[in-house]
Structure 1
Amino acid sequence: MSHDHDDRPRLTAAQAEAALNPPPGRLGGDLVVETLQGLGATTVFGVPGAPVPGTADALDRSPLTYAGLATESGAGFAADAYGRITGEVATLLLTAGPGALAALPALQEAAAASAPVLAVCAQVPAAGLGGGRHGYRRELRDQQASFRDVVKSVHTVRTASQIPSAIAAAWESALTAPHGPVWVEIPEDVLSAGTALPPVSALDATPRELYPRPELTLVAADLLTRAERPAVIAGGGVVRADASGKLRALAERISAPVATTYGGKGAFPWTHPLSLRSWPAGPHTTELLESADVLLVVGTGLGELTTEGRTFAPRGRIVHIEADAGKLEANHPALGIHSDAREALDDLLDTVDRREDPTAAERVRAALDQHRGPGQEPGPEQRTLDAVRAALPAASPGFWDLTPLTTWAWAVFDARRPNTMHSAQGAGGPGYALPAAIGAAFADRGTPVLAVSGRDDALRSAAELSTAARQGLPVTWLITDDGGHEPPPEEQGAGPAAPDLVALAAAFGVPALRTAPESLTADLTGALRAPGPSVLVLPGRIRSRTPGRD
């Protein structure tokens, strides 16, 4: 049997010379950095002064940008956002033990959002692997066990020669649909030891494509073509697959109303005649979806948050397209199609017949009108979000902590474009918004980014103002100073009062001001246009929205 070697990577003359005569003084950490460069990484996240052992000098010599955040959790949230915004693998460097554990909530958030994050973590020396207690600093008996149920895959290195292959395999795993965080663990002595291995020059970590099975596509297309009242629920998988255009084309082809989940905001145009906007938002929208005789669910597992505590009860046939096999039909029986959303929608467009239904847009309009109510004036929450929307450029991403204002934004905020509204829906944060916005700013320094937090989350992540100030990043942080979770007066004692958030920002050298509802649009517009970071504090209590009832 002959093999075609034409597609194999070739060495340049300089690479061949370096392979035969490796530069002196290289460590195992150099192999990590060289591998990341070979795979196309440009930015690496971690904390200042504490990258993975053996990598500091290699990073300094490389063209990679080292984005150092104040905390490991902040670095993890930043990497998550970078992966979401770019669609590329975001590398996160972690030290063993407490440093790694501090990033666990961020990796859980990345897993929930299918963000491609490559966590490269140091481990105790190789002699201490495999359990037991050896008395090493930062030792965990089984460090991997804390992450195995969160990440997509775990890759363990025991020798320097295994580093390139392990990182390349993890990289491929992170980018194979469904995207997600992956874990590479390397002993500290392997990272810090000298190596005579040649520089890493050529790697192949091309992710596998996930196509739908053609017989399932044929059945799904037949169901949608013959349906009397088809409808669509689109989730974050449509955004991650860059399939918004194909979703719109399919909806128009079959005249199907489209609702987007909170994670799928922006996947379908807000003002389109077939747009049911965000779901769940009210009982009338839910009833329209439940009454569909064929319901196409694409890029969402219909989990607890999406279905209002699993109360969603569709009465028709469901076609479920999902890249994560574990989520496929996990909550409702369906014609399950295991596929990337873009590929599945593309094949459906090639297979489904055109279906005309002049009543579809009328039913959508009626459901939205019933939800709003006749003559209903917008409340303070809606007016606040309208002010934010008026100030925020359409291309600017926003990152939201789980605040009362966020629960309203899920339902009534027009994201305008895909991949521009992100919230802490997986692990719930805490302290997600500011470091995530910083990660997005590292991805694109030319686009202003918005972070939205309540007071409690602001206090948890305020240290990252130092990162934004040090790097001059275009991040505007809107803090709704709603009083936070204060204890009742009889339990408050004589402790210190809540901090002045404007003064706190000023202590980091970040411009800050106290805004008001009537001046929010102008103040936020100015802050977003100004170079570097800024903080706006909006006093006033905002009530949480009860999904489906407000």
Structure 2
Amino acid sequence: MSGRGSGERNGGDLVVESLAALGARTVFGLPGQHALGAFDALRRSVLTYVGLRMESNAGFAADAFARSTGSAAPLLVSTGPGALMSLAALQESAAASAPVVAIGSQVPVAGLGGGRHGYLHELRDQQASFRGVVKSVHPVRAASQIPSAIAAAWESALSAPYGPVWVEVPQDVLLAPVDVPPVMALAATPRPLPPRPELIAEAAARLSGAARPVILAGGGVVRAGAEPALLALAEKISAPVATTFGGKGAFPWEHPLSLQSWLEDRYTTDLLEDADVLLVVGSGLGELSSNYHTFRPRGRVIQIEADLGKLESNHPALGIHADAAPALRDLADAVAERADGGAAERTAADLLARVRERIAGQDLDLEQRVLGAVRAALPRDSPSFWDMTILAYWAWSAWPAAMHSAQGAGGLGYGFPAALGAAAADPARPVLAVSGDGGAMYSIAELATARQYGLPVTWLIVDDGGYGILREYMTDAFGAATATELARPDFVALAESFGVPAVRTTPEDLSADLAEALAAPGPSVVVLPAVLRMFAPTHLAT
């Protein structure tokens, strides 16, 4: 492997200069042999590097940085195993439409195409591993291609629908000297996705003439910054609004028209089915948003969706391929104002009363107290990131604000590294991560990352001795659980061994202990030993 001579710039410099020219300020990643040219160039750049201990965790951190800022987040990884380790995180970013720009290295150009040279980390077709996951793939074969390839990837990631992209640069291209000026400016303008006017006119006519209009708002509303337009439309046509789990925060939780997010509750599904016109915006009506595909609309559906592949993919609709923001603004301008807001507000209030009554009959006081304690402790402007754990499943329905979870792809290990990424985006405010003990073991090494960079993340670990939600699923389905019980460490002692303050708490002390941890500088861990249960999502408790 050739080195870098004094004063020389190389392909790695073009990578980091291109990122800086596009507006990047923070890079996540983990170095590897073939990528060292790019990592060496980081020390000569204006970029801040945050290094995690596993590529999947680095990808989760980049995902959260992108969600938190609305900008693209660079992820820098190496070849072969390093590249493949990022795939789980990129799958989550693809499912959640997070604009991650992943840049991976490759074996030298001469070795591309099928194992002729037996390079370490070599894959027969590395790009093929990413094509089914990311939005676009951008291979580089010469240094002069680097700035344009990264700019094209950046533009792709930030064009609706947002999504992760993959750039691939061979080792020798990263290391080769270049005799060009530093990259100063790059053009990467996301393409707009406005709605077709005739479709807006038809949708407005249907909504204006509806007797029982209802709106289901998904994550696309939040990503587009379309919350004001959604509020204006809902109030103008007096339509109750439910938000998907990924769309939490799209509509005010306590608004009189809010149906909140009880999408796993059959009462909510019934109400959505009963709408004579249902407007679905920023959601593909996938498994979770359709109550596990039990949703059967009886009225007409209008769907606004930026991802063409999700348009009418689950239910026939008046499909409008557009970004949520311009489409909702145009709709709000075009619909006729309705005067029967009181009836819609009573519909929303009745739905929520029935949900509360059903849950009250299921002996779930502990679960509601724990979730309430977490909400009380978290400052109102602090973000939260949730792993796939029972408390997160509760939060999907009952958390009264925006939240971030791995419910896009559903993999374990998201919460803590994602929270680190959000903290890197804004170190001035505390961030909450929530995991179960099973999911926590996926990212326990990142306690070292949190300590190294002094990131203000408080990690709540709900320790129930196993994969709690899988235990519940298996017991319900088979009468007994298999492979769900786990030996685990003393999380308090383990965190303290990393130099991270930790405390073991109880449901009664949880709110105070969490609040104290969140108020302290740097990382912290709060461990809650508790076995929580899910609510029964049917009309009657079972």
Q: TM-score, structure 2 length as denominator?
A: 0.93
Percentage of matched positions with identical amino acids = 64
Q: 1:482 and 1:197, CA in 2 relative to 1: closer, same or farther beyond 3 A?
A: same
Q: 1:497 and 1:291, CA in 2 relative to 1: closer, same or farther beyond 3 A?
A: closer
Contact 2:153 2:165 in 1 (8 A): yes
Q: 1:444 and 1:108, CA in 2 relative to 1: closer, same or farther beyond 3 A?
A: same
Find the counterpart in structure 1 of residue 3 from structure 2: none
Deviation at 1:491, TM superposition (A): 9.8
Per-residue CA deviation, residues 148-194 of structure 1 (Å, 9 max, x unaligned), is 01100001110000001100000000000000000001111100111
Deviation at 1:56, TM superposition (A): 2.8
Determine which of 524, 527, 533 is the counterpart of 2:523: 533
Q: Give the Cα–Cα distance (whole angstroms) in 1 for the partners of residues 56 and 33 of structure 2.
A: 14
Find the counterpart in structure 2 of residue 512 from structure 1: 502
Per-residue CA deviation, residues 92-139 of structure 1 (Å, 9 max, x unaligned), is 001000001111000000001100000000011111223344201100
Determine which of 434, 442, 447 is the counterpart of 2:416: 434
Find the counterpart in structure 2 of residue 406 from structure 1: 392
Q: 1:50 and 1:401, CA in 2 relative to 1: closer, same or farther beyond 3 A?
A: farther
* Counterpart residue type for residue 287 of structure 1: D
The residue matched to 1:52 in structure 2 has which SS?
helix
The residue matched to 1:154 in structure 2 has which SS?
strand
Per-residue CA deviation, residues 235-272 of structure 1 (Å, 9 max, x unaligned), is 00001111111111110000000000010011111111
The residue matched to 2:178 in structure 1 has which SS?
coil
Find the counterpart in structure 2 of residue 329 from structure 1: 312
Deviation at 1:284, TM superposition (A): 1.8
Matching of residue 168 in structure 1 with residue 151 in structure 2: yes
- TM superposition outliers: structure 1 runs of 4+ over 6 Å: 486-492
Matching of residue 99 in structure 1 with residue 88 in structure 2: no
Gaps of 5+ in 2: 1-5
The residue matched to 2:18 in structure 1 has which SS?
helix
* Counterpart residue type for residue 307 of structure 1: S
Find the counterpart in structure 2 of residue 422 from structure 1: 404
Deviation at 1:63, TM superposition (A): 1.2
Q: 1:490 and 1:122, CA in 2 relative to 1: closer, same or farther beyond 3 A?
A: closer
Q: 1:546 and 1:191, CA in 2 relative to 1: closer, same or farther beyond 3 A?
A: farther
Contact 1:276 1:364 in 2 (8 A): yes
Q: 1:490 and 1:63, CA in 2 relative to 1: closer, same or farther beyond 3 A?
A: closer
Find the counterpart in structure 2 of residue 475 from structure 1: 457
Find the counterpart in structure 2 of residue 251 from structure 1: 234
* Counterpart residue type for residue 303 of structure 1: G
- Over aligned residue pairs, what C-alpha RMSD do you find? 2.1
Find the counterpart in structure 2 of residue 10 from structure 1: none
Q: Give the Cα–Cα distance (whole angstroms) in 1 for the partners of residues 494 and 68 of structure 2.
A: 29
Contact 2:115 2:122 in 1 (8 A): no
Per-residue CA deviation, residues 292-335 of structure 1 (Å, 9 max, x unaligned), is 11000000000012112211011111110000000001000000
Determine which of 337, 349, 362 is the counterpart of 2:346: 362
Deviation at 1:286, TM superposition (A): 1.6
Find the counterpart in structure 1 of residue 280 from structure 2: 297
The residue matched to 2:102 in structure 1 has which SS?
strand
Find the counterpart in structure 2 of residue 232 from structure 1: 215
Determine which of 108, 131, 141 is the counterpart of 2:124: 141
Gaps of 5+ in 1: 1-22
Alignment of 1:35-46 (within 5 A): 35-46=18-29
Deviation at 1:367, TM superposition (A): 1.1
* Counterpart residue type for residue 95 of structure 2: A
Contact 1:74 1:432 in 2 (8 A): yes
Q: Give the Cα–Cα distance (whole angstroms) in 1 for the partners of residues 258 and 264 of structure 2.
A: 13
* Counterpart residue type for residue 223 of structure 2: R
Q: Give the Cα–Cα distance (whole angstroms) in 2 for the partners of residues 520 and 80 of structure 1.
A: 29
Determine which of 236, 240, 253 is the counterpart of 1:270: 253
Q: Give the Cα–Cα distance (whole angstroms) in 2 for the partners of residues 196 and 305 of structure 1.
A: 53
Find the counterpart in structure 2 of residue 9 from structure 1: none
Q: Give the Cα–Cα distance (whole angstroms) in 2 for the partners of residues 368 and 281 of structure 1.
A: 13
Q: Give the Cα–Cα distance (whole angstroms) in 1 for the partners of residues 538 and 27 of structure 2.
A: 41
Q: 1:165 and 1:547, CA in 2 relative to 1: closer, same or farther beyond 3 A?
A: farther
Contact 1:216 1:337 in 2 (8 A): yes
Contact 1:396 1:450 in 2 (8 A): yes
Per-residue CA deviation, residues 512-547 of structure 1 (Å, 9 max, x unaligned), is 000110111111111111100000000011123444
* Counterpart residue type for residue 513 of structure 1: V
Q: Give the Cα–Cα distance (whole angstroms) in 2 for the partners of residues 176 and 285 of structure 1.
A: 33
Q: 1:180 and 1:313, CA in 2 relative to 1: closer, same or farther beyond 3 A?
A: same
Q: Give the Cα–Cα distance (whole angstroms) in 2 for the partners of residues 369 and 142 of structure 1.
A: 55
Q: Give the Cα–Cα distance (whole angstroms) in 2 for the partners of residues 80 and 491 of structure 1.
A: 32
Determine which of 345, 359, 381 is the counterpart of 1:395: 381
Find the counterpart in structure 2 of residue 380 from structure 1: 366
Per-residue CA deviation, residues 457-490 of structure 1 (Å, 9 max, x unaligned), is 1111110000111111110000000111499999
* Counterpart residue type for residue 137 of structure 1: L
Q: Give the Cα–Cα distance (whole angstroms) in 2 for the partners of residues 469 and 49 of structure 1.
A: 22
Q: Give the Cα–Cα distance (whole angstroms) in 2 for the partners of residues 163 and 258 of structure 1.
A: 45
Q: 1:438 and 1:548, CA in 2 relative to 1: closer, same or farther beyond 3 A?
A: farther
Number of residue-to-residue matches in the alignment: 522
Q: Give the Cα–Cα distance (whole angstroms) in 1 for the partners of residues 370 and 85 of structure 2.
A: 34
The residue matched to 2:138 in structure 1 has which SS?
strand
State which drifts further: 265-274 or 277-286: 277-286
Contact 2:31 2:78 in 1 (8 A): no
Q: TM-score, structure 1 length as denominator?
A: 0.92
State which drifts further: 188-197 or 123-132: 123-132
Q: Give the Cα–Cα distance (whole angstroms) in 2 for the partners of residues 548 and 65 of structure 1.
A: 49
Deviation at 1:223, TM superposition (A): 0.6
Find the counterpart in structure 2 of residue 524 from structure 1: 514
Deviation at 1:197, TM superposition (A): 2.1
Q: Give the Cα–Cα distance (whole angstroms) in 1 for the partners of residues 255 and 345 of structure 2.
A: 9
